[in-house]
Structure formats: structure tokens, C-alpha cells
């Protein structure tokens, strides 16, 4: 696999000043961050973020078999929550619209919830949120682990 998904930069405390400010800004999308395995569909195979083939999600692979796109997502309990089209050259606003129309949504492939608020995070026991600039482009990482400030991750405080 010659593609590595990009990591969001850490945003700090979930209800800190930066989160509160950005959550009210119209230029940002607030997307759920679930606690699963980051996964990428390359058009043929499902991979981990670090480039290992995922073999224990056959229903996801069957569901995505005819999707010839590079899809970034999260694998949670046998379900692939798609959140971006990594091979798309447009802004996140355009990538997200094309993602919604391009994938075969169903039992094993679902869109990552967007426009969520912190109450959704708490109620659903998600890991947190990733805030993405609507005008951001998907940065092609040259190595695993690269971060971008156009995506900011805010994590829920675990007790």
C-alpha cells in the first residue's frame, strides 16, 4: 500500500476554548470520532493505517467490492464508518458530498456522523470528534503518522 491516511492534529481538551470557538464557526465540520481501527479501502483491499491488510472484516470487503475509490474510515465492530475520499482532489465539502453519493451504504458500510455536538459524543460514548475545515484538501501523507491542522481531534475525557 503506497497510501497512508493522515492523522488530525491534537486539539486539546474537548470543551476547551479552541473547541468551543471552532464548533460555532461555519467553516468547520464536526465529525464523530469513534473508538475503533482506522482503516482504508484502496479499491481492492482493506488496510490498517500502518499498511497491514485487514482480513477479519469479510462483510465490509464484500460491501465495498465494487467501489473503486480510496476511502478513509474507521472499523468499529465489523462496520466500516467512512469519513473521506482520499483519492479525491477537491475540498472536504466536495469530497464529503461525493462520498455520500459514491458508497453502497448498508449494514456493514455507514457514513461517519457529521455535524454532531458534544452531547452526541457523550450519549453515544464516542471517542470524541474530528473537526475538519470544509475548504481543506486531503493531504497526501508521505509517511504514516503525519498530522494536519486542517483536521483537529478533540477527545472525550475517559474516567
Give CA angle at 25 (144, 125), nearest 5°: 60
- DSSP class per residue in 96-122: HHHHHHHS--SSSEEEPPBS--HHHHH
CB 103 within 8 Å of CB 85: no
The pLDDT tens digits for 12-46 are 666 667 777 888 888 999 999 999 999 999 999 99
Is the pLDDT score of 144 beyond 60? no
The pLDDT tens digits for 92-128 are 999 999 999 999 999 999 999 999 988 899 899 999 9
- Helix (H) or strand (E) holding 131, with range, is strand 128-133
Q: Tell me the domain boundaries of the chain.
A: 7-153
CA atoms within 13 A on the CB side of 38: 14
The number of beta carbons lying within 10 Å of the beta carbon of residue 2 is 6
The pLDDT tens digits for 39-92 are 999 999 999 988 899 999 999 999 999 999 999 999 999 999 999 999 998 999
- CATH assignment, 7-153: 3.30.470.30
Which ranges of the chain would DSSP assign to H, the alpha helix? 17-23, 58-64, 92-102, 118-124
Amino acid at each position: 500500500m503506497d497510501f497512508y491516511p493522515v492523522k488530525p492534529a491534537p486539539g486539546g481538551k474537548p470543551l476547551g476554548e479552541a473547541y468551543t470557538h471552532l464548533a460555532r464557526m461555519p467553516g468547520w465540520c464536526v465529525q464523530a470520532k469513534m473508538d475503533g481501527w482506522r482503516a482504508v479501502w484502496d479499491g481492492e483491499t482493506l488496510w490498517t493505517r500502518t499498511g497491514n491488510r485487514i482480513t477479519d472484516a469479510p462483510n465490509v470487503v464484500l460491501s465495498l467490492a465494487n467501489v473503486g475509490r480510496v476511502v478513509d474510515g474507521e472499523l468499529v465492530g465489523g462496520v466500516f464508518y467512512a469519513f473521506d475520499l482520499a483519492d479525491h482532489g477537491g475540498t472536504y465539502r466536495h469530497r464529503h458530498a461525493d462520498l455520500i453519493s459514491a458508497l453502497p451504504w448498508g449494514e456493514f458500510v455507514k457514513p461517519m456522523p457529521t455535524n454532531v455536538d458534544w452531547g452526541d459524543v457523550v450519549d453515544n460514548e464516542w471517542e470524541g470528534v474530528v473537526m475538519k475545515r470544509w475548504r481543506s484538501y486531503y493531504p497526501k501523507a508521505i509517511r504514516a503518522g503525519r498530522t494536519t491542522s486542517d483536521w483537529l481531534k478533540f477527545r472525550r475525557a475517559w474516567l
